[in-house]
Chain A
Amino acid sequence: MERSRMFQVRIHGRGGQGVVTGAEMLSIAAFEGGRHAQAFPSFGSERTGAPVVAFCRMDDKEIRLREPIMEPDALIIQDPTLLHQVDVFSGLKKDGYILINTTRTFEQLGLGEFVKWFKPEHLLTVPATELAMKHVHRPVPNVPLLGAFAALGGLISLEAVQAAIRQKFHGAVALGNMAAAREAYEIVMEQEKQAEAHHA
């Protein structure tokens, strides 16, 4: 994965799922890794349950661009029910990354055709809600998804994600979130290994 140019992540979810906090933590993790990062929400009327989008840009130099991310390098989809309601894939770069919070596969989600030409190691699923319930007892999938994102390598490290978690949360919730992030990280690392083996 290139490090020299800007990397743009778009996060889709619903109000109440921590989409905005997720983007913020992603930017903190990038910062911890010594990079410039910019995170901001799409500015729609936010209500619990309504579709929400947040953005995070990362770069090695100052980020001046302020427009919404129209051509993301990576998509994080926190709620698969959005898949057929909102045009989440709009502008996704060819060979971009798609990380979905789900227990199902891309095929089972009805995306098999759509992702046919994507590199398998760019298509990732992680049961983030389940992990969140297990470690933090709240169905907020944003943190496990960040742990999963760290497993993509080259952008943010798991350590940086843990640092971001400690900045945003305290006490038992922080510890729980850190464990959830680690487990998600390991799940995706496993998926990556398998995909690479399949490729080879």
Chain B
Amino acid sequence: MEQTVVKFYQTGTFTVGNRLLEPDQRSVQANTQRNNSLNSGHRACQGCGEALGARYAIDAAMQATNGQLIAANATGCLEVFSTPYPETSWQMPWIHSLFGNTAAVATGIAAAMRVKGRSDVRVVAQGGDGGTTDIGFGCLSGMFERNDDVLYICYDNEAYMNTGVQRSSATPPAARTATTMPVGPQPGNVFGQGKNLPQIAMAHEIPYVATATVADLRDLEYKVTKAMSMRGARYIHIFVPCPLGWGAASHDTIRLARLATESGFFPVFEAERGEVTGVSRIRHQVPIEDYLKPQKRFAHLFGAKPDIETIARLQAIADRNIRRYGLLDEAAPTAAQNRFKRLRDPLGDRAAYPATNVGVE
């Protein structure tokens, strides 16, 4: 009789949903005791990267703080789809004030906790790229400068999505948005110098700055957990594809995030007090076209007469990131290595991850 070898891939891997691992090796989301801080029933689009990122980030933060967490949220997609009157998805104390003041509101909450002697209660502020890099920039910088004890999370889908996909200072060059249409001599968004919020955050010399994507959710959880083990101003910039706004298939959200990372277009790294301490190395570099092609917002670069020059300029941006952060550099410290070091636990002496260096290499 023939024997069929059945391979069990689930057991022993560190995919984010694996519940067959030891309890202390599971991701926060895999934990049946997770908070579900952003509960189901919200009105996000099919395949929304922001909903995915927020769920992972806030549950990780809740775990790290033993549920003693208050959130301030900017106006935007996350706020709108999570609190459709008369319902709310949030299973934690949450306030939405205005579009541009989230960092300041968070500062106020942190001050209130301080004055009431509740140092165990932590504060997270969250907003999209519009509310962070544009209208919220002043308040964000003020919070950084004061080193207020706030973790600010930016969900970057690279445009003002909630109001109909208008361009923000985080919109990549050449991308189509409602205010940067693919017409005229320079179709799509202009090639400016960009507005690199993670670099700007690092320039403020705050304790912790990191970028992450929804393609590596373990890494995202690790960074949030690490951030919550520190005090002072911290900033995490999460790359979250938006199927509707980018003109991508809703099942491509995670794949697009991975392509952005593997092309070098979105560098994933962490830094402390202005110095890079770890990067996520590119495993299999892909050309920028692989990342651009699945998105209709870049469709005008392709077709019968591809815009080779613009594509080359975009590739150059990716190449520069690779150079700047050592994304292909064997010697650069990796985020994965950092991740699996013992983490300082603010509430006790408990390692979040095992000490052995096992990763998804």
Direct contact between the two chains A and B in their complex (CB within 8 A): no
Using a CB–CB cutoff of 8 Å, the interface residues on chain A facing chain B are none
Using a CB–CB cutoff of 8 Å, the interface residues on chain B facing chain A are none
